[in-house]
Amino acid sequence: MTTSFDNAAQVLTPPEPGLRYLRTDRAGELSLEPGGITIEHGRIATLEPTKDANIHVDASGCALLPGFVDCHTHLPFAGWRAEEYEQKVTGVPYEEIARAGGGIRSSANALRETPDETVLAQAQELAGEMLRSGTTTFECKSGYGLSTAGELRALQLAAELAQIVSQVTTRTALLAHAVPDGYTTTTWMDEVEAMLPEALEHARALDIFVESIAFGLDDLDRMGALAAKNCVLLRAHVEQFTTMRSVPVAIRHNARSVDHLSTIHPDDIAPLAASDTAAVLLPGAEFMGAEATAPARELIDAGAITVLATDANPGTSPIFSLPLIVGLGVRRYGLSTREALLGVTLNAAYVLDLQSELGSIELDKRADLVLLDRPAEHVAYRLGRNPVAATFVGGEPAYVRPDAAWRIAER
Ligand code: NIG
Ligand code: FE
């Protein structure tokens, strides 16, 4: 079965094949030229259209991009926290909401009280929403378990979710998210260490929230050592509200990413930019929480591997649309279209260690693709409008917007 994408106004391709990532100061080398591609058996077969293909996709006027990769979400979770948002916008700080038993703790209570089927049904519905916004790969995290049994259940649910959604998913064990009642950070880290063999049956990365209201630099150091010992990736939520100087510690442990960075210390920008640790920026959380703005331009100009993600969660960022995140990133950080798109494709795939399989339009990669009904510059420009005409996962149309159905024709 061959599918030819014909006559696209723009096809986003990397400057060379086989890149693990592209430092964002090189984003201008991404090509957005007119053209087409052919896919065969779910993979990209040629970087040009094919006349006698079985299926033709009329991509005229469209941008053809790699499927979007959301490398930072907190799916699966239970319920929502809309009332907290109202508190937040009327002036109650997140830290205060959290200390009063809201925040992560309230989502942990909700998760504990919600049956598996209900949690999965909500997550599946959200995955559908993400697919309609062009997300073909996303990360799941635990972190709302706040007990050994709870964390293992969250990872198990994430594994079950993988079976019922169209997208490729990965699992990250965010085992140090909030300090559970009755524990200190150190005694909880002892629990984390004890649950690792089971947790890592389902997860390929470890994560930790380093913050004044959560875990400290020593705990990050310990999580880094545990990740290395178990040969999994280290990720870390850092410098979201408080400048903790987590970045040098994370780099020392060769973290795959440091996420948030809204309050990164200026002295930590150059070392981060020189490292292989990606800077995952979360403009949705910054916007919804009126947080500080990460110094994205400085990071990019210094040579960092920057990434944009939703941070989709019921608290700080109930946003599941990467086109919206691209729009927020472009406006808040002063990014070009190419810089923003790189951050939701190849560089995001690198964060999940899937870069050899997906994240860019190049030969032999999975045919995970998104077709936009307008040129790529419109994603940010028409903020809030969903530009996705169709989403293809492994070469199959997983979502086609009804008014774009005419574009796909069998011959
Ligand atoms: O990435 N900062 C820590 N964790 C999440 C928020 C979780 C929540 O509020 O439920 C984040 O923003
Ligand atoms: Fe997060």
In the structure, what pLDDT confidence band is assigned to residue 411 with cuts at 50, 70 and 90? confident
DSSP β-bridge partners for residue 132: none
Residues with CB under 6 A from ligand 1: 103-104, 107, 209, 237, 240, 285, 311, 313-316
Whether the per-residue pLDDT at 100 is higher than 90: the answer is no
* Residues sharing a CB contact under 8 Å with residue 89, sequence separation 6 or more, in sequence order: 290
pTM score, two decimals?
0.98
Instruction: Outline where DSSP puts E strands in 103-143.
Output: 135-141
In the structure, what pLDDT confidence band is assigned to residue 292 with cuts at 50, 70 and 90? very high
Q: Please, what is the average pLDDT of the chain?
A: 97
Instruction: Outline where DSSP puts E strands in 20-166.
Output: 31-40, 43-46, 55-58, 63-66, 68-70, 135-141
Whether the per-residue pLDDT at 284 is higher than 90: the answer is yes
Q: What is the pLDDT of residue 136?
A: 99
In the structure, what pLDDT confidence band is assigned to residue 265 with cuts at 50, 70 and 90? very high
Mean pLDDT of 115-123: 98
Question: Which two structure tokens, joined as six digits, stand for 183?
Answer: 């524990």
Share of the chain above pLDDT 70, in %: 100
255 three-state secondary structure: coil
Question: Which two structure tokens, joined as six digits, stand for 305?
Answer: 């591997």
What is the CA(24)–ligand 1 centre distance, in A?
26
Q: What is the pLDDT of residue 95?
A: 82
Ligand 1 mutation pick, 74, 146, 287, 310, max ligand atoms within 8 A of CB:
74
- In this chain, the answer to whether the domains covering 2-67+357-410 and 69-351 adopt an identical fold is no
What is the CA(361)–ligand 1 centre distance, in A?
32
Please identify, by atom number, the ligand 1 atom nearest to the C-alpha of residue 315. 9
Whether the per-residue pLDDT at 367 is higher than 90: the answer is yes
170 three-state secondary structure: strand
69-351 topology per CATH: TIM Barrel (3.20.20)
Largest CA distance in the chain: 67
In the structure, what pLDDT confidence band is assigned to residue 134 with cuts at 50, 70 and 90? very high
What is the number of alpha carbons within 13 Å of residue 307 lying toward its C-beta? 29
> Is 182 exposed, middle or buried (CB count within 10 Å of its CB: 0-12, 13-18, 19+)?
exposed
Per residue in 48-66, pLDDT (tens digit) is: 999 999 999 999 999 999 9
- 2-67+357-410 CATH choice from 2.30.40.10, 3.30.390.10, 1.10.10.60, 3.10.20.30: 2.30.40.10
What is the CA(118)–ligand 1 centre distance, in A?
21
In the structure, what pLDDT confidence band is assigned to residue 305 with cuts at 50, 70 and 90? very high
DSSP line for 203-217 = -SEEEEBBSTTSB-H
CA separation for the pair 288, 179 (Å, rounded) = 24
Q: What is the pLDDT of residue 98?
A: 83
Phi, psi for residue 13 in degrees, rounded to 5: -135, 150
Per residue in 28-53, pLDDT (tens digit) is: 999 999 999 999 999 999 999 999 99
In the structure, what pLDDT confidence band is assigned to residue 252 with cuts at 50, 70 and 90? very high
Whether the per-residue pLDDT at 402 is higher than 90: the answer is yes
44: closest CA among 355, 367, 396, 390?
A: 367
284: DSSP letter? H
Per residue in 178-216, pLDDT (tens digit) is: 999 999 999 999 999 999 999 999 999 999 999 999 999
Of 85-99, 305-319, 332-346, 359-373, minimum mean pLDDT range: 85-99
Q: Which amino acid is at 322?
A: L
What is the number of alpha carbons within 13 Å of residue 21 lying toward its C-beta? 25
Whether the per-residue pLDDT at 258 is higher than 90: the answer is yes
CB–CB of 289/88 below 8 Å? yes
Whether the per-residue pLDDT at 94 is higher than 90: the answer is no
Please identify, by atom number, the ligand 1 atom nearest to the C-alpha of residue 103. 9
CB–CB of 297/58 below 8 Å? no
What are the residue ranges of helices labelled H in 133-246? 148-164, 185-199, 217-229
143: closest CA among 127, 158, 122?
A: 158
Task: List Cβ<8 Å contacts ≥24 apart for 25-32.
Answer: 25/300, 25/301, 25/302, 25/303, 27/300, 27/336, 27/338, 27/339, 27/341, 27/342, 28/336, 28/338, 30/338, 30/341, 30/342, 32/63, 32/337, 32/338, 32/376
Q: What is the pLDDT of residue 99?
A: 83
Please identify, by atom number, the ligand 1 atom nearest to the C-alpha of residue 174. 4
What is the CA(93)–ligand 1 centre distance, in A?
14
Q: Look-up: residue for tokens 């005409």?
A: 389
Please identify, by atom number, the ligand 1 atom nearest to the C-alpha of residue 317. 12
Mean pLDDT of 120-147: 98
Q: Which amino acid is at 328?
A: L
Q: What is the pLDDT of residue 387?
A: 98
Q: Where are the domains of the chain?
A: 2-67+357-410, 69-351
Per residue in 315-346, pLDDT (tens digit) is: 999 999 999 999 999 999 999 999 999 999 99
